[in-house]
Structure 1
Amino acid sequence: MTDLLNMNGKLRICYGTCNPALGKAVVEHLNLPGTEVILKAQQFADGEILTDYDSTLRGCDLFIVQPVSVPDVNAALMELLLAIDAAKRACAARVTAVIPYYGYARQDRKAKMRQPISAKVVADMLTAVGVNHVVSIDIHTQQIQGFFSASVPLDFIPGDMIFLPALCKLYKETKFMVASTDAGGAARCRELAHKFNTDIAIVDKKRNYDAMNQSDVMSVIGDVTGRNVVIYDDMCDTAGSLCKAAAAIKRAGAVKVFGCVTHAVLSADAAQKIRDSVFDQVFFSDTIHIPDEKLAVMGKITIISCAEILATVVRVIHLEESLGNYIQCQKELVAKLINDECQ
């Protein structure tokens, strides 16, 4: 595989400043000397961003790893846009934006009159600067694929691919069922529950659209009495919905409650809320960098890296192989693992 990847010498990969630890890990998993280029990002005194590359990009197949996330979502997005524009002006043959966390994805519709569809605006900006391909992990809703034209495809990696090995071990010990924090995430949770041939519950949540990041739990749909439950969600921002859902499930009779969340936004006092919650353990991926001070607060979390998966996706796309076949093969391998170890 390594010889084949190096055959034309055109693969290049870089990463922005938003999650350099993940970018470095992806480069290390690729293990291909000479493929990394340095993306330099600087700021003027007024906050303007300037990007530059340390080596030639002419004719290369460039992958830019940059989540659109905290600590500054808007700066991360601007840095990514400028990095793409710089690469196209440097005559890169193809530019793929690897966006582990697609910021603004939850604004995928008009919740109220006179609101923007911000996820579409981000897609328009990426297209306008000339990106050729976008890859993301566990996008908020699949309809975001339709915000891009056929000439700029968006591929997304299911979030559960990151967690399935760990969940297999957990299932062997606890025989859990799966729960969704709201009706909108039910499809995602149903697919995960199907893999383990287990039941699903849904937390009936009422969101307050007049106050940002606020919601109330109404009830739990499904019988969790005497069961161990894994709450599976795509993102955790303030942790309000997640912790309220866990408390409701615990009150409904669950024995142990676990969390499994792809994107750890963890705004404000989210880390403190998780530490004080009824969760026994919470799994996060590293699509978003979690600062050390927040990790220190949360003694009950486990971080599982998506770097190896992203490195494999880079290989597959560069070699013009089928990403769908890769995902299907992974599903079959996990199905076998579940069958061998969990049942």
Structure 2
Amino acid sequence: MRLYYFKNAEDLAKAISARLGIDARQIEERDFPDGEVLVRVEPAREVALIARLYPDVNKNLVKLYLALDALTDYGAERIVLVAPYLPYARQDRRFREGEPISSKTVLSHLKLYPVTHVVTVDLHKAYISDYVGGIRFINIYPSSQFAEVLRRWNVSHVLSPDAGSLGRAEALAKALGASYDYFEKFRDRETGEIYMRPREGTSLQGKAVAIVDDILATGGTLVDACKNARMLGASAVYAAVTHCMLLGNAREKIKGCISALYCTNTIPCEYSSVDIARPLAEALASIL
């Protein structure tokens, strides 16, 4: 099997190829002045393709589909797609009448090609893999890697900002040997405004707390959860977020409340201290 990668995933590709002992080759890419793109691949029967799809998700998705199409035309019989962050996963159902299920739309294109597996990190909702029956998803949550960096702070309680992330809180709490819980969150579908309140009877007095989530975009949810944790008596509030976009003034928002932020390098940023190359390599080794 050959390991191919797009240029923006070179760091992951080299780390994974070193662990697996296989050669990594970069896909040739071109961006034209009119916004169109082109790729060029080397033919291979079996391919593992690493695609970092954020930022510029729309352009990168087109490049991905073009690469998959070219590989298929040149005889690829098996393709394993490694997409550390899978875009459009948050639109996993119709929230309002007339909307598409965007995650289904994006994933449905994979069924056109001999993609047998998708290896990803902390998929927003695991059930969206059901939209592409026949393709096996390996969804990694780096709980042990987060635990390694949080253990130094003696975190005794893990919090999810809502019930949807409770599985993440449970996994990290188990790795830390800590307790866990979640906040109740309500979102206005028209305005996007979020309302959050702690569950009845929750007390964090004197505890070092870690808040977990899959995505940090504008920082509103994380900061609201942090403020609620502080109001409940938390002595320190840390954050373990898998995909850190840090849009707008998110950096300024979190500095006012979060004691320390830990992100993975699915989306590289100054907080990407948690390397997911090892679990990605382990996932690939299990299926190659």
1:278 aligns with 2:260: no
Distance in 2 (alpha carbons) for counterparts of 1:175 and 1:303? 18
Distance in 2 (alpha carbons) for counterparts of 1:86 and 1:17? 17
TM-score normalized by the length of structure 1: 0.78
Q: Which moved more, 1:246-255 or 1:220-229?
A: 220-229
1:14 aligns with 2:9: no
Answer yes or no: is the 8 Å Cα contact 2:265–2:272 preserved in 1.
Answer: no
Distance in 1 (alpha carbons) for counterparts of 2:112 and 2:77? 16
SS in 2 for 1:132: strand
Distance in 2 (alpha carbons) for counterparts of 1:309 and 1:205? 31
Give the direction of change, closer, same or farther, for the CA distance of 1:130–1:44 in structure 2 (3 Å limit).
farther
Distance in 2 (alpha carbons) for counterparts of 1:271 and 1:175? 23
Q: Which moved more, 1:186-195 or 1:238-247?
A: 186-195
What root-mean-square deviation, in Å, do the aligned CA atoms of Structure 1 and Structure 2 show?
A: 1.9
Structure-2 residue corresponding to 1:42:
30
Structure-1 residue corresponding to 2:123:
139
Q: Residues 183-202 of structure 1 correspond to what in structure 2 (within 5 A)?
A: 183-202=163-182
SS in 2 for 1:80: helix
- Letter aligned with residue 156 of structure 1: N
1:148 aligns with 2:132: yes
1:25 aligns with 2:9: no
Distance in 2 (alpha carbons) for counterparts of 1:229 and 1:236? 18
Q: Residues 294-313 of structure 1 correspond to what in structure 2 (within 5 A)?
A: 295=270, 301=271, 303-313=273-283
1:243-292 per-position Cα deviation (integer Å, ceiling 9, x unaligned): 12111111211001010011112222222222x231111110001122xx
Structure 1: gaps of 5 or more residues: 1-10, 296-300, 319-343
* Runs of 4+ more than 4 Å apart: none
Structure 2: gaps of 5 or more residues: none
TM-score normalized by the length of structure 2: 0.92
Structure-2 residue corresponding to 1:63:
48
Distance in 1 (alpha carbons) for counterparts of 2:137 and 2:155? 35
Answer yes or no: is the 8 Å Cα contact 2:157–2:178 preserved in 1.
Answer: yes
Q: Residues 1-343 of structure 1 correspond to what in structure 2 (within 5 A)?
A: 11-32=1-22, 35-53=23-41, 55-57=42-44, 59=45, 61-70=46-55, 72-150=56-134, 152-167=135-150, 169-170=151-152, 173-212=153-192, 214-219=193-198, 221=200, 222-274=202-254, 276-290=255-269, 295=270, 301=271, 303-318=273-288
SS in 2 for 1:37: strand
Distance in 2 (alpha carbons) for counterparts of 1:240 and 1:25? 33
Structure 1 residue 175 displacement after superposition:
4.0
Distance in 2 (alpha carbons) for counterparts of 1:18 and 1:208? 36
Answer yes or no: is the 8 Å Cα contact 1:66–1:99 preserved in 2.
Answer: yes
SS in 1 for 2:24: coil
Matched residues, percent identical? 29
1:86-140 per-position Cα deviation (integer Å, ceiling 9, x unaligned): 1111212211110101111111111122211111111101222442321111111
Answer yes or no: is the 8 Å Cα contact 1:220–1:252 preserved in 2.
Answer: no
Q: For this pair of structures, how many residues does the alignment match? A: 287
Instruction: Judging by fraction of residues, say which structure has more strand.
Output: 2
Give the direction of change, closer, same or farther, for the CA distance of 1:131–1:285 in structure 2 (3 Å limit).
same
Distance in 2 (alpha carbons) for counterparts of 1:180 and 1:129? 37
